[in-house]
Amino acid sequence: MNKSESIKELAVALCKFQGAVEKIKKTTTNPFFHSKYANLADILDVIREPLSESGLSFVQFPKGQCELETMLMHISGEWMSETYEMKPTKNDPQGLGSVITYQRRYALGAILGLNIDEDDDGNSASAKPKITTPVNTQPQKPVDQLPVAIEEMKSSKTLDELKNCWTKWKKYQKEPTFSAMKEEVKVKLTPKPTELSPEIDKLLTQSILTFESVDSIEKATAIWNSTPELQTNELFTNAFSEAKKRLTQK
């Protein structure tokens, strides 16, 4: 924005003008957009007297091919101005004339702070209307994610992962292919029983019986920690888990 060294008096006058000017009524109908807007004559009729009473005036003049400069002046000699460019869709006399009128209205509305709603006129200066594509309102069919669920089940690396996958895809638990994949993966992940030596077999039996009668989690944990050779045995781990569960519920 360009301005005089001081705009103190101009600012006071502009404040007075904005308090006095009325709302710009939209009286012109745009047949292209089926809307109403305030044309340049409407704006000039409303602002002329409040401007004069406030000691303000303005000038607007085209610059170059598609630029417009608007200067607001005060009787004290203070002023401010701005220039902006707007290119028409059609570069012919009608298009150029339309865009200048469009620029003048918007420039006055901006520099004076006029109460003008956004409008849609400027047939020759604006772009072509957008062609909207009808929205498909028909409900889409839900995507069948069963193949995804089966692949996720198949890629489970542990029994815990298998259990989580089964819970996650609850809606497919009655699907034969999904439940069959669960059983297949479960068989692969379940540790195979191994032959135990008589000594280990005896220790296993004693430990399981102790887990069944132990009266504190600390004692059950001590048994677990003292028999690392049994910690990979499914019967031993199940007995330890059941003992902890029983003691926790007390």
Q: What pLDDT does residue 22 have?
A: 87
Where exactly are the structural domains of the chain?
Answer: 2-112, 146-189, 198-248
What count of Cα atoms within 13 Å lies in the side-chain half-sphere of residue 151? 4
Amino acid, res. 178: F
Burial of 171 (0-12, 13-18, 19+ CB in 10 A): exposed
Q: What pLDDT does residue 133 have?
A: 63
The torsion angles phi and psi of 82, rounded to 5 degrees, stand at -155, 150
Rounded CA gap, 132 and 6, in Å? 50
Q: pLDDT confidence of 31, banded at 50, 70, 90?
A: low
What count of Cα atoms within 13 Å lies in the side-chain half-sphere of residue 184? 11
**10 Å Cβ neighbour count for 159?**
13
State the average pLDDT over residues 199-228.
90
Q: pLDDT confidence of 169, banded at 50, 70, 90?
A: very high
State the average pLDDT over residues 48-59.
92
Q: What pLDDT does residue 70 have?
A: 92
State the average pLDDT over residues 28-56.
80
Q: pLDDT confidence of 120, banded at 50, 70, 90?
A: very low
Rounded CA gap, 152 and 181, in Å? 10
**10 Å Cβ neighbour count for 75?**
12
The torsion angles phi and psi of 2, rounded to 5 degrees, stand at -100, 145
User: Does the pLDDT value for residue 170 go beyond 80?
Assistant: yes
The torsion angles phi and psi of 234, rounded to 5 degrees, stand at -65, -40
The torsion angles phi and psi of 206, rounded to 5 degrees, stand at -65, -40
- Strand intervals (E) in the chain: 2-3, 28-30, 35-37, 56-63, 67-74, 79-85
User: Does the pLDDT value for residue 73 go beyond 80?
Assistant: yes
Q: What pLDDT does residue 41 have?
A: 86
Contact predicate 166/138, CB 8 Å: no
State the average pLDDT over residues 100-122.
75
User: Does the pLDDT value for residue 132 go beyond 90?
Assistant: no
Lowest-pLDDT range, 11-20, 26-35, 210-219, 239-248?
A: 26-35
What count of Cα atoms within 13 Å lies in the side-chain half-sphere of residue 83? 10
User: Does the pLDDT value for residue 93 go beyond 80?
Assistant: no
Burial 206-244 (b: 16+ CB within 10 A, else e): ebbeebeebeeeeebeebbeebeebeebeebeebbeebb
pLDDT tens digits, residue range 228-249?
988 888 889 999 999 999 888 8
Q: What pLDDT does residue 53 have?
A: 93
What value does the mean pLDDT of the chain take? 83
